[in-house]
Chains A and B, each alone.
Chain A
Amino acid sequence: MPASFMPSAQELMRFAPEMLLTLAGTLIMLLEPFTESGNKSRLAWLALGALLAALGLTAVSAADPGPAFSNMLLIDEFGTFFRFLVLAVGVLTILISTHYLRSGGHESGEFYALLLFSIVGQCIMATANELIMLFIGLEVSSIASYVLAGYLRDDKRNNESALKYFLLGSFATAFLLYGIAWTYGITGTTDLSLIRSALLNPASRPNEVLTAAASAFLFVGLAFKVSAAPFQMWTPDVYQGAPAPVTAFFSAGPKAAAFAMFLRIVLTGFEPLKKEWEPLLWVSALATMIIGNFAALRQTNVKRLLAYSSISHAGYVLVALTTHSGPGAAAAMFYLAAYCFMNVGAFAIITHVARRDERYVEIADLAGLGTRQPLMAGLLTVFLLSLTGIPLTAGFFGKFYIFKVALDQGFIWLAILGLLNSALAAYYYLRVIVVMYMEPAPEGEGELPAPAAGVLAAAVGSAIATFFLGLFPSSLLDFADKARRIFN
């Protein structure tokens, strides 16, 4: 056995965040039976500590970038960026979920363990440099997510959400995998940089029809995972049915990781085919924005409204992806970071308002929140304005960079149609704000309790991040700009 099969200490250090989270998740499951039902929040603290330690280890491993495990993983700035992002989403999710689970009497260790395992999968998706490794990361993330979607076993909405997520998610995985198998067949490798050279080399250039088929299968699988049209139909049902903190997680973590995977495949391995991918992405980006925005106009359920809004935001990121350029990748990364914070923040407030068993999830239930709880209403307003793209918030610069890149790269019509779409989106976000401030609180409704400390911390933290990115966008954009250099 060659000595190179043993990973060196350097490689293990690069993989340390994932190893730490896996150990912590396993430890939580082992401790679970020995923890009395009143003390379950200790496990939440353990998970939170593990995530913060993983953030630290990510920073340490970023100081020594390079490949690990014979090029299976590539720890570069791009991967580090998404590692930081999904870990931060994990921290916010734990803060939101502890009180939610405790008030319903559902708090247990599995929830936190599954959350950690799902985040491990997303970290692997962010750093994988090889199609099979991407698939493993995706499945580690997805299988844990299927269970989280149906976490409240006796709730019919949860059941349905988990079932739909599982069936459609596995269906999409099969397509992605078939695409990987064909890519392996025509190029003889699954390593993204070797795929690139195989596609570039005129002597070994594979059959065009087969390459197109492999690309199409990969596209179907990836589009499902980022909920891009025409494969977005599972998103509203899954987001509406899952527990509110879990929806906050789904709308940010797995989506950011899936986009990391999408960016890496399109901009490294399949970069030689950019002329062929371009029309596909163009149409999908436009359709995603239009379907998301028009369907959101008609929603009365807040979770469903935000589900359609998250579809339309995937459309904006796809606009950046369509440009197939380094600046486009940087714009997409900035947008995803902004989107994660504002969306998780909005879901934190929704979790608070929904209360036990999620009885209050209609837009009408938000009536009078401006007078009942001015702080919560103010925070939700910040997130909704940022989702709309109002200046001074992160959402504004996110959209600005994306449409600027689209114009610079000559995608004028796509930029114009995207801008029209984001104007349309203002209508449904502002409608929620109007209901909060202009309409009187419904009578005979139970008192809205004060927000739990965790929810408050998550919402305030997200609001600070939203403002920070809105006031000092260059701090993050410089990092994203450095990270996207790997694509040139």
Chain B
Amino acid sequence: MPFQLPAEVPLSWYLILSAILFVTGAAGFLIRRNIITVFMCIELMLNAVNLTFISFSNALGKVDGHIFSFFVMVVAAAEAAVGLAIILTVFKNRATLEIDEVSSLKL
């Protein structure tokens, strides 16, 4: 019998996808050495959260999860504005975006 897709994508598939996205973001944050890439990894984690909110909201038949994802988007945008400004000043003063070269405060 050929493989058949379920008529409706079950909740767990969405949740597994969002977990994979979240773990990818967290792993990238820890492994990558370029500040911009690290910052993108954080955004990926926040979007994984959004996906989780929306799939739960849909499964529970409530709207509040959708609204929460809007809150998260607004906060992520504010964070991006501040974060990119900070990254810009770091680049102006050091002319590098490698995380290891920026670190000078030490024990």
* Residues of chain A whose beta carbon lies under 8 Å from any beta carbon of chain B: 132, 135-136, 139, 143, 146-147, 150, 153-154, 156-157, 159-163, 166-167, 170-171, 174, 177-178, 180-182, 184-185, 188, 190, 236-237, 240-241, 295, 298-299
Contacts and interface: CB of A to CB of B under 8 A. Distances in A.
A139 B87 CA distance: 19
B42 A171 contact: yes
B79 A135 contact: no
A150 B49 contact: no
- Name which of A139, A178, A237 has the most chain B CB atoms within 10 A of its CB: A178
B53 A181 contact: yes
Contacts of B68: 132, 180-181, 184, 190
Contacts of B86: 146-147, 150, 159, 162-163, 166
Contacts of A177: 46, 49, 72
A135 B42 CA distance: 16
B90 interface: yes
B4 interface: no
15 contacts: A147-B82, A156-B94, A160-B104, A162-B86, A166-B79, A166-B83, A167-B29, A167-B42, A170-B79, A177-B49, A178-B22, A185-B52, A185-B59, A188-B62, A237-B105
Lowest 3 CB-CB distances: which A-B pairs, in order?
A185-B56, A174-B45, A181-B52
Contacts of B53: 181, 184
Contacts of B52: 178, 181-182, 185
A182 B57 CA distance: 11
Nearest to B53: A181
A167 B79 CA distance: 10
Nearest to A295: B107
Contact of A139 (B39, B75, B103): B75
Contacts of A160: 90, 102-105
B25 to A, nearest CB: 7
Nearest to A139: B75
Given A157-B104, A190-B68, A298-B107, 9 more contacts: A135-B75, A146-B83, A153-B89, A154-B93, A159-B93, A171-B42, A174-B45, A178-B49, A181-B52
Contacts of B42: 167, 170-171, 174
A161 B89 contact: no
Contact of B65 (A156, A157, A162, A184): A184
Contacts of A171: 26, 29, 42, 45
A143 B78 contact: yes
Contacts of B39: 167
B64 interface: yes
Interface in B48-107: 48-49, 52-53, 56, 59-60, 62, 64-65, 68, 71-72, 75, 78-79, 82-83, 85-87, 89-90, 93-94, 102-105, 107
Contact of B49 (A139, A181, A295): A181
Contact of A170 (B56, B83, B94): B83
A171 B29 CA distance: 8
Contacts of A150: 86, 89
Nearest to A147: B82
A166 B82 contact: yes
A163 B90 CA distance: 8
A298 B107 CA distance: 9
A172 B25 CA distance: 12
A132 B72 CA distance: 9
Contact of B38 (A139, A167, A180, A295): A167
Contacts of A298: 107
Given A153-B89, A160-B105, A241-B105, A188 B25 contact: no
A154 B88 CA distance: 12
Contact of A143 (B60, B82, B102, B107): B82
Nearest to A138: B75
A147 B38 CA distance: 19
Contacts of A174: 22, 25-26, 42, 45-46, 49
A171 B46 CA distance: 9
Contact of A178 (B48, B78, B94): B48
A150 B102 CA distance: 14
B18 to A, nearest CB: 8
A160 B90 CA distance: 7
Contacts of B79: 139, 143, 166, 170
B56 A159 contact: no
A230 to B, nearest CB: 14
Nearest to A188: B60
B102 A139 contact: no
B56 A163 contact: no
A240 B105 contact: yes
Contacts of B15: 185
A345 B76 CA distance: 35
Contacts of B102: 159-160, 163
Which of A156, A170, A299 neighbours the largest number of chain B CB atoms within 10 Å of its CB? A170
Nearest to B41: A171
A291 to B, nearest CB: 13
Contacts of A153: 89
Contacts of A161: 105
Contacts of A166: 79, 82-83, 86
